[in-house]
Amino acid sequence: MPTTPVKQQRNPTAVQSTRTPYSGNSEYNQLDYFIRSFMGGNLYTALPVIVKAVEAGGIAPTGRVDVLPLTCSMDAENNVIQPAQMYSLPYLRIQGGAAAVICDPVVGDIGLAVFAKQDVSNVDVGITEPVQPGSFRNFDISDGFFLCGFLNQQPTCYIQILPDGNVMVTAPQHVTVNTSQTTINSNTTINGNLTVTGNTTVQQRLDVIDNATIKGISFADHVHGNVESGNSNTGTPK
């Protein structure tokens, strides 16, 4: 004959546990505190930082920066711990092969320091093959890279690409183009003076609306001397 399961009766006098995963003495809370303490003090992912010094730069290989984190740490008693400066972080440059857009960071720039999963001390300029990590450290503050361009002030020298298809180049001082040849496939308007050092070839009609001066002589207003009738030639322009 099938047996009828015996239903256990709840003892109304038994003391019920009030401990939850968030209780101060629970195993969950102890483990949670241990993990958070370990990750907070040993694993670095990203930090907002400000540039304190710039090494190298210019057309040389990408340089490095010294940075200071912009957020403080807190200890178990909520005391503020001032951040320590980080040194020699390689910074990002937009580059493909030998072609690059060079805009090096300067002191006072705000950016983001990101940290590699492994020790990258053996990774340097010119490396082409994977290398062995310098140590067993992970997400360490010593293995940072700097990404520039966050929360900075309004620029005064810039290239602006607009969604309507226009591009604006603004340089308050000077623009220098170093190349062997330049081709402009467009109608061109120059609002200012134009100085040409070298020969100029005009393959189609040249319209001068106002005047032109050739070797100090006005093209529109000059006169000729030694004028005679018949087949004689005039003198040179005056």
User: What per-residue confidence (pLDDT) applies to 15?
Assistant: 47
Q: How far apart are CA 135 and CA 41, in angstroms?
A: 18
Q: How far apart are CA 116 and CA 109, in angstroms?
A: 22
Q: Predicted confidence band at 53 (pLDDT cuts at 50, 70, 90)?
A: very high
Q: Which of 183 and 134 is assigned the larger pLDDT? A: 183
Enclosing H/E stretch for 222:
none
User: What per-residue confidence (pLDDT) applies to 221?
Assistant: 79
- Domain ranges for the chain: 30-148
User: What per-residue confidence (pLDDT) applies to 58?
Assistant: 81
Average pLDDT over residues 147-175: 93
Pick the CATH number of 30-148 from 1.10.287.3510, 2.40.50.230, 3.40.228.10, 3.30.70.1560: 2.40.50.230
Residue type at 196 in one-letter notation: V
Q: Tokens in use for 114?
A: 């990101």
User: What per-residue confidence (pLDDT) applies to 145?
Assistant: 96
| Residue (of 89, 49, 90) closest to 68 by Cα position | 49
Q: Which of 158 and 15 is assigned the larger pLDDT? A: 158
| Confidence check: pLDDT of 13 > 80 | no
Assessment of whether the complete model's pTM goes beyond 0.75 = no
Q: Which residue has the tokens 């984190």?
A: 69
Q: Predicted confidence band at 40 (pLDDT cuts at 50, 70, 90)?
A: low
Q: Predicted confidence band at 193 (pLDDT cuts at 50, 70, 90)?
A: very high
Q: Tokens in use for 201?
A: 């070839």
| Residue (of 176, 138, 137, 173) closest to 157 by Cα position | 173
Average pLDDT over residues 104-128: 91
User: What per-residue confidence (pLDDT) applies to 111?
Assistant: 96
Q: Predicted confidence band at 78 (pLDDT cuts at 50, 70, 90)?
A: confident
| Confidence check: pLDDT of 34 > 50 | yes
Average pLDDT, the chain: 83
